[in-house]
């Protein structure tokens, strides 16, 4: 038992260190990888997966913003306009009665990761050179994303970046604002899960220690612009592959309900036009 706990601790710290190194070079987009690592590498059970991921994401997002705050000036105001309506959307999502299994949530998360990556690539290539800030548009989009995030906890916060780009925010502001938004969404999800004992704090602590160590080492000794660009492209591909992996592992969770909906619609139409 002690050996097993020691190995789990080493795995948590080493995987956190790897993610911390990625955060230092590729930014907050890598935060979504934590839920994949927690579930498939560290073997966290479904009951604590999303809560633990939310706690880790909150701390890491705030850390990334703290390290990069000098280059992310002006990001706070757009983040507030996006996040506050998003939190309202999260509350609305919790009021709506629905039952979504963990495999279906992971399948939907994989689908959203694929769409998010493709949209981010397309939108970043058409980014504005003149700053544009549309508060009302950010608020509407933020509320819509908050409704989606309500089902995924902090893991859904990665949708903030392309949503901000769609709303007209330049990429330099969207990067910093989305990091703060992710922190806000994850913090609320973490507070909610604390009361349900849905967080594995031993994993959270070790993972964050590893992430801080990895981030510090890269920022202090391996800061290289050309290497950062290459790693950013590698992370983008990794997120796309991770999304496809989740879809491949849990596609039946989406396929079976889709067939049921199709059969229901087909049966209703046949009944309507044959009777």
Residue 6 has pLDDT above 60, yes or no: yes
A 10 A CB-CB count for 234 gives 13
**pTM of the predicted protein model:** 0.77
**79-96: string of b/e by CB count within 10 Å (b at 16+)?**
bbbbbbbbbebbeebeee
**Helices of type H across 27-45:** 33-36
Q: Write out pLDDT tens, residues 126-144.
A: 655 445 667 888 899 889 8
Query: What are the tokens at 197?
Result: 């004992």
**Helices of type H across the chain:** 2-26, 33-36, 46-68, 76-95, 102-124, 135-152, 160-166, 171-194, 201-221, 225-274
CA distance linking residue 14 with residue 112, whole number of Å: 27
Q: Write out pLDDT tens, residues 227-263.
A: 556 666 777 788 888 888 888 887 777 666 544 444 4
Q: Are 104 and 254 in contact (CB under 8 A)?
A: yes
Domain ranges across the chain: 2-250
Q: Write out pLDDT tens, residues 169-203.
A: 877 777 778 888 888 888 888 887 777 667 888 99
Terminal C-alpha separation, the chain = 66
Q: Write out pLDDT tens, residues 194-236.
A: 776 678 889 999 999 999 998 888 877 766 555 556 666 777 7
pLDDT of res. 269: 43
């Amino acid at each position: 038992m002690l050996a097993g706990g020691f190995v789990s601790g080493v795995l948590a710290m080493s995987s956190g260190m790897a993610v911390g190194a990625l955060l230092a070079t590729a930014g907050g987009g890598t935060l979504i990888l934590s839920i994949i690592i927690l579930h498939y590498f560290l073997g966290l059970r479904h009951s604590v997966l999303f809560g633990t991921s939310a706690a880790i994401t909150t701390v890491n997002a705030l850390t990334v913003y703290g390290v990069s705050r000098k280059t992310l000036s002006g990001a706070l105001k757009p983040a507030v306009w996006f996040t506050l309506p998003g939190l309202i959307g999260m509350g609305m999502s919790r009021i709506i009665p629905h039952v979504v299994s963990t495999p279906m949530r992971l399948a939907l998360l994989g689908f959203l990761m694929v769409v998010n990556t493709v949209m981010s690539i397309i939108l970043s290539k058409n980014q504005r050179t003149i700053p544009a800030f549309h508060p009302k548009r950010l608020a509407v989009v933020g509320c819509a994303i908050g409704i989606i995030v309500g089902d995924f906890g902090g893991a859904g916060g990665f949708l903030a970046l392309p949503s901000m780009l769609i709303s007209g925010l330049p990429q330099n502001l969207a990067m910093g604002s989305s990091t703060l938004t992710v922190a806000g969404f994850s913090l609320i999800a973490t507070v909610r899960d604390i009361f349900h004992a849905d967080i594995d704090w031993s994993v959270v602590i070790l993972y964050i220690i590893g992430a801080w160590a990895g981030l510090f080492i890269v920022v202090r000794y391996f800061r290289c612009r050309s290497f950062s660009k290459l790693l950013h492209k590698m992370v983008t591909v990794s997120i796309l592959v991770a999304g496809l992996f989740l879809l491949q592992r849990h596609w039946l969770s989406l396929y079976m309900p889709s067939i049921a909906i199709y059969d229901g619609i087909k049966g209703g139409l046949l009944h309507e036009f044959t009777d």
